[in-house]
Structure 1
Amino acid sequence: MTVGEAIRAAAARLAGVSDTARLDAELLLAHAVGTTRSGMLLSCLRDPAPAGWDRLVEQRTRHVPVAYIVGRQEFWGLDLAVAPGVLIPRADSETIVRAALAARPDARRVLDLGTGSGALLAALLSELPGATGIGVEASPAAADVAANNLAQLGLPGEVVLRDWNRPGWRADLGRFDLVVSNPPYVEDDAALAPEVRDHEPSAALFAGADGLDAYRVLIPQTAALLEPDGVAAFEIGHTQAAAVTNLAEEAGFAAALHHDLAGRPRCLVLARAVVR
């Protein structure tokens, strides 16, 4: 069987599992070949299919996310390592990066709350020459992945183990020009795809009955983390703009809403409200 034939067989096998069966098949076969997807499609389709490709497809039939199978995920054009226990970066979260850069293109200190794989921090530091950053993460496994991603990319960031639900977690962090966060914001009883529900870390997803628990903890503390002209950018669920805006205003912020490429509410940028 050739690589091209293996891709077609894998896509057919995954058709009932994934809405992106062909793409999944191509990514898995490229990983098995040991090259990029584009490189495989350009030059490897007539080569013999590599041993073990079918075992990768078998994992995907059990709803294991492709990123966990191949151990990589692209975000903001960066190649990031991911692993079980670490939230997989989504393209929608690039909205935070765009909004944060637009709000503070001159930022020199960046803080990423709940950094996970380090995706947001890495993306921002890659666009802010001379800036340094800190990622806060409660999971030791995720903190290790984030630190390794920053090191592999040669970016000037560090990751610290902290739990924002515990007193004193921000005491020695200082102040920042830019704070970003993609906190957990899924309602506890939300219906999720098996790939997410059964494989991604629940602590990075769920945030109480209404999905707002993390915002209730973080937003009132954000002012103490910001320089006077600093801004914060929070990812939100597409139904949460009004509720999170209310929390921000109660904490003394003005909130500006940003939409993702599909037109859904995705990010709130917070700045200290001007007192008149």
Structure 2
Amino acid sequence: MTLGEAARAAASRFALAGIDTPEADARALVREAFGLDAARLIARAGDAADVHALARLEHLVLRRLGGEPVDRILGRREFWGLDFMLAPETLAPRADTETVVQAALDAVGGGDRPLAVLDLGVGSGCILLALLSELPSATGLGVDRSFGAARAARANAERLGLGPRAHFVVGDWAAALGRRFDLVVSNPPYIASADVAGLDREVREHDPVRALDGGADGLDAYRAIVADLPARLNPGGAAVLELGAGQEPDVARLARQAGLRVDGAAWADLGGVPRALVVRAAT
């Protein structure tokens, strides 16, 4: 069997199992099993497959057929062009969340200013570290209720060469912080508790529930975060909050009630869903 045949056989099994992206998943697992990047897999597609690597591939394929997502199998996920290692306590970064990074960069105007950035519910560190990669003079603080998530974010910061500018603490949102920031970002839990059981199996069984469950109406985390923002933002500072579908009016209302200014309509993700709401402190 050649490498190309191994990839096609895996993709066929995935397709028969109803997996949405059989070819992409198969290529990713073949690259992992054989230790190849995408270009080398294409160049060596006609080469005979090593039997030991085929055995590794079969193990990975069976995990995927069992419902484990590819990024959990690989233990990593790309976000904003950066490679993030995952942990059981972290969500796998989604492409939709890159909208938060885009909105945040726009909110601060980019540049080389020494900004102080706070990420509430930092998870793998994907939002904070993507921002620090684009803002060379900024420093960041990531807060998470999970020690495992904070540890994973720290490890990702070190791997990406951003460790000297990123710090991480375990805590309940910003309750224990006594300082202000120029930019606050957050992708909080926003799924209503009753809806968690109806999520896709791959999400429900492999993402941490506490990073998904936003309480009875999905707004518990927003209430805690938004109420504290006036004490957490520097004058003129901005906060960017990821939204679930249909949550823009409720979160905007909470922000206005807290004395914050909503900076126009939420930024939409590639699917057209309002995804990132920008709010600002009073000047």
Query: How high is the TM-score relative to the length of structure 1?
Result: 0.93
Q: How far off is 1:109 after superposition?
A: 0.7
Q: Deviations over 1:12-68 (max 9, x none)?
A: 111224211111111111111112234322334534152310110111111111111
Q: Mark the runs of 5 or more structure 2 residues left unpaired by the alignment.
A: none
**Is this contact kept in 2: 1:17–1:63, CA < 8 A?**
no
Aligned twin of 1:131: 138
User: Which amino acid in the other structure matches residue 191 of structure 2?
Assistant: V
Q: Tell me how far apart the structure 2 counterparts of residues 64 and 98 of structure 1 sit (CA, whole Å).
A: 30
Instruction: Name the residue aligned to 1:54.
Output: 58
Contact 1:182 1:235 in 2 (8 A): yes
| Correspondences of 1:158-169 after superposition (within 5 Å) | 158-164=167-173, 169=175
- 2-structure distance, mates of 1:47, 1:101: 47
The answer as to whether partners of 1:180 and 1:234 remain within 8 angstroms in 2 is yes
- C-alpha deviation, 1:229, in angstroms: 1.4
1:122-201 to structure 2, matched below 5 A, reads 122-155=129-162, 156-164=165-173, 169-172=175-178, 174-190=179-195, 191-201=198-208
CA contact (8 A) 1:185 1:236 kept: yes
CA contact (8 A) 1:107 1:177 kept: no
Kindly indicate whether the alpha-carbon contact (under 8 Å) linking 1:107 and 1:178 is maintained by their aligned counterparts in 2. no
Match of 1:65? 69
| Corresponding residue number in structure 2 for 1:6 | 6
Residues in 2 aligned to 1:63 and 1:11: alpha-carbon distance in whole angstroms: 15
Residue number among 206, 215, 228 corresponding to 1:221 in the alignment: 228
Question: Structure 2 length as normaliser, TM-score?
Answer: 0.91
CA distance in 2, matches of 1:57, 1:107: 46
CA contact (8 A) 1:56 1:69 kept: yes
- Partner Cα separation in structure 1 for residue 6 and residue 124 of structure 2: 31
Q: Deviations over 1:123-145 (max 9, x none)?
A: 00000011110100111111111
- Counterpart of 1:270 in 2: which secondary structure? strand
Amino acid across the alignment from 1:170: A
Check conservation: 2:3, 2:44, Cα contact below 8 A: no
Which residue among 249, 271, 276 is the counterpart of 2:280? 271
1:32 and 2:33 aligned: yes
AA aligned opposite 2:147: P
Residue 5 of structure 1 deviates from its aligned partner by 1.1
Say if 2:234 and 2:281, in contact at 8 Å, map to a contact too: no
Q: 2:268 aligns with which of 229, 234, 259?
A: 259
8 Å CA contact retained: 1:17, 1:61: no
Number of residue pairs aligned between Structure 1 and Structure 2: 270
CA distance in 1 between counterparts of 2:90 and 2:123 reads: 6
3-state SS in 2 of match to 1:183: coil
Which amino acid is the alignment partner of residue 199 of structure 1?
H
Greater helix share, 1 or 2? Answer: 2
Question: How far, CA to CA, are the matches of 2:28 and 2:102 in structure 1?
Answer: 27
RMSD: 1.5
Deviating above 4 A after TM superposition, structure 1's stretches of 4 or more consecutive aligned residues are none
- CA distance in structure 2 between the partners assigned to 1:170 and 1:36 by the alignment: 44
Once the 2 structures are TM-superposed, how far is the Cα of residue 170 of structure 1 from its aligned partner? 2.9
How many angstroms apart in 2 are the aligned matches of 1:266 and 1:18? 26
- Contact between 1:112 and 1:179, CA under 8 Å: does it hold in 2? yes
- Partners of 1:88 and 1:200 within 8 A in 2: yes
What is the distance in 2 between the residues matched to 1:18 and 1:211? 29
Question: Following the alignment from structure 1 to structure 2, what is the Cα–Cα distance between the partners of residues 252 and 39?
Answer: 55
